[in-house]
Amino acid sequence: MRKYLYYSLLLFAFTNTVAQTVDSGQFIIHRHLKVIGKERYQLTHATNGGQDYAIDCFYSDRGKDVPLTSSMLISASGEPLKMISKGLTSRHSQVNDTATLGPEGILLKSDSTSRLLAKTTNMFPVGGAAPATIQWLLVDWWSKHGKPARIQGLYGEIEIRALGTDTLRIASGDRILSAIGIKNVIWGWEFLWMDQQGKLVALATINAEGDKFEFIHPAYEDQLLFFAERSAVYGTQQYAVITGSNRSYAIMHGVLVDIEKGKKLQDAAIIITDGKITWTGPSGKAVIPAGTAVIDAKGRHMLPGLWDMHAHLKQVEWGPAYIAAGITTVRDMANEFVFINTMKSSIGAGKGVGPTILRAGIIDGPGPLGNGIMIATTKEEGIALVKKYKAAGFEQIKLYGQLQPDVIQAICEEAHRQGLTVTGHIPRSMTTMQAVDMGMDMIAHIPYLMNAFKADSNFVVDLTQADNRNTLKRLLEKKVVVDPTLTIFEILFRPFNQPFEQIEPAFKTLPASIQADFNGIGLPPAEAVKKIEQQTGYKQLVYQLYKAGVPIVAGTDMMIPGYSLYRELEAYVAAGLTPLQALQCATSTPARVMGMASTSGSLAKGKDADIILVDGDPLTNISDIRKVSHVFKAGRLYDPAALHHLIGFGLR
């Protein structure tokens, strides 16, 4: 009781002083490099020397308003006293936190729950999707307190690194900025730039939805692309030291899985040389070259590396997270152009850790619902963007919701001329089958397929019904590929009173900041009940499409880093697929539809050495896919436990 009284008296003493002066400022908020809102702060100086920052953060993301109000009280001696944050941290997540620093530590109240973070030498009440202003105050406090190696925040120990200086060459003269890395306010690293007067210039971060954001001081708005690119460079550098060892390996005595036929070879071996599989067969017949490292795989199944066909690598930590989960290839389904290109090239050059990245370049239409800055209002603009993506080496084009029919037609025709396929959302201006007839080769998210068929009031689709039979026929004739992303709907429709462990068994091993973000996603229980039949209908439709011959590829749309792909495969099995069929959706099928079957998707001589070893038999129990013990990416060996530890998994 005494500690709560102390907090109350401390704040009463602060808030009952008379304000003397007021300062203010603002930052422009960007998502996918598009201006979507502003963060404004107002600083009130009190007569006792303290400071009160009132922060109003507001943006609109694809038609959804996302307001967040925060405040930070700073004492006359420069110590943080109280942080309040209330509102939305993304389109799908919310926060209601009050964190007060007192003699016994930080008292954190989140909605109706409270917990005390025990007092340590260095503490600052910040965590989660904190506004740029509070991040600036954190760095300022760190700088004035001897730059401590660790600071206790709301969701673990925060690390701050001085990364050097960046020089901006602009018309009015060079600007030298200090680059700062901040780890564990959110999950992973953020990057912040300060001017020579200690003022915040830019912050590159993500929101609770995992989207890439930049907060830029208005005077530096024209340098947005510079900050976006540098955040990728600095980010990948943080993990360059853990690039796996690249040498020759002989994996011995494992169970080799022929993923295409479902056959197993007991006591088998795989020999890897220069990143390629050079031999497979019985261990007793293996000829191991001199100097080859031997891996004993007895009791383990050897499978091809997994694919996630709906990824968004908007922060560098996703690279290690994917590899740790056994995911060696991903299709990035929309990102900042400069960020994903820099990240891909850095990983390819061995300056970071991550999977093979295939890129689908997004194109959307204009207006407040538009996604990013790659906007096509006319056919000519659409064609120009297709050429831009092709020149940068992208594999696909992704359509989004605001495109108009004539522009879509031009994009699809140009993409096919350029040797690119077209995937994405079904634009609001047309039906699913109209988009398919215009040239869409692949469709993301199962609701777009549900909309293409006639379902009853319980979301059940009868494929023997005439109209549905005709729709299916057209999908098969057009060879349309479907990326269902079932897991995203399970999370978005989760009742708030459902423990997240029922969706992700490893949830409690995730970084606390990730847990906080996902605990804020869901629906009131009464609303969630209404979604149960809808989710069941989605699963049934996936099963029916698969049985009918429509290619299904596994994708997650991010969600829980790496682990959501396991959940996606479990959902396919729950829908009716066999474990082998589910695994094919994340290995051989995506390799085939992306034109990479000759180099990836299965274990055979001459293919890339993307291999996972699994403790268990996922062909019998699909959940055994969660037991990945070794990962080879292009012949480089990685330890999943070590990678997970590095990015904060399994630490609590």
**pLDDT tens digit sequence for 89-101:** 999 888 999 999 9
251 pLDDT higher than 60: yes
Residue 339 in contact with residue 314, Cβ under 8 Å? Answer: yes
Token pair, residue 575, equals 């829908």
HSE at residue 464, side-chain half, CA atoms within 13 A, is: 0
d(CA 578, CA 195): 58
Q: Which residue has the tokens 């915040």?
A: 200
Token pair, residue 611, equals 């291999």
Count Cβ atoms below 10 Å from residue 22 Cβ, excluding itself. 11
> For residue 375, what pLDDT is reported?
97
At a CB cut-off of 8 Å and minimum separation 6, what does 509 contact? 649, 650, 651, 652
pLDDT confidence band for 324 (50 / 70 / 90): very high
Residue 422 in contact with residue 442, Cβ under 8 Å? Answer: yes
What mean pLDDT is predicted for residues 491-516? 94
> For residue 19, what pLDDT is reported?
55
102 pLDDT higher than 80: yes
244 pLDDT higher than 70: no
Name the pairing type of β-strands 189-194 and 276-282. Answer: unpaired
Ramachandran angles phi, psi of 484, nearest 5°: -70, -35
d(CA 208, CA 221): 24
Q: What is the pLDDT of residues 533-590, one digit of tens each?
A: 999 999 999 999 999 999 999 999 989 999 999 999 999 999 999 999 999 999 999 9
Ramachandran angles phi, psi of 229, nearest 5°: -70, -45
CATH topology of domain 364-425+435-444: Rossmann fold (3.40.50)
> For residue 5, what pLDDT is reported?
44
Sequence spans of domains, the chain: 2-238, 364-425+435-444
* Radius of gyration of the chain measured on its C-alpha atoms: 26
To 10 degrees, what angle do helices 532-548 and 466-477 make?
60
305 pLDDT higher than 50: yes
What mean pLDDT is predicted for residues 292-313? 97
431 pLDDT higher than 80: yes
What mean pLDDT is predicted for residues 458-462? 95
Q: What is the pLDDT of residues 340-359, one digit of tens each?
A: 999 999 998 888 899 999 99
pLDDT confidence band for 112 (50 / 70 / 90): confident
In DSSP terms, 117 is beta-bridged to 106
Q: What is the pLDDT of residues 374-397, one digit of tens each?
A: 999 999 999 999 999 999 999 999
What rounded mean pLDDT belongs to the chain?
93
> For residue 517, what pLDDT is reported?
87
Number of residues that make up the chain: 652
Residue 498 in contact with residue 522, Cβ under 8 Å? Answer: yes
DSSP-assigned states of every residue in 95-138: EEEEEEEETTEEEEEETTEEEEEE--SSB----SS--HHHHHHH
Q: Which of 35, 6, 51, 33 is nearest to 141 (CA)?
A: 51
Helix, strand, coil shares of the chain, percent, nearest 5, are 30, 35, 35
In 195-315, which ranges are E strands?
A: 200-206, 212-216, 245-246, 249-258, 263-273, 276-282, 293-296, 300-304, 306-311
What mean pLDDT is predicted for residues 105-114? 91
Ramachandran angles phi, psi of 596, nearest 5°: -120, 20
- Specify the higher pLDDT residue, 22 or 267: 267
What mean pLDDT is predicted for residues 187-197? 95
Which element (helix H / strand E) includes 322?
helix 318-324
> For residue 129, what pLDDT is reported?
78
pLDDT confidence band for 2 (50 / 70 / 90): very low
Residue 289, SS3 per DSSP? coil
391-421 in b/e burial notation, b at 16+ Cβ within 10 A? eeebbbbbbbbbbbeebbbbbbbbbeeeebb
Q: Which residue has the tokens 């930590």?
A: 317
What mean pLDDT is predicted for residues 309-323? 96
**pLDDT cut 90: percent of the chain above it:** 87
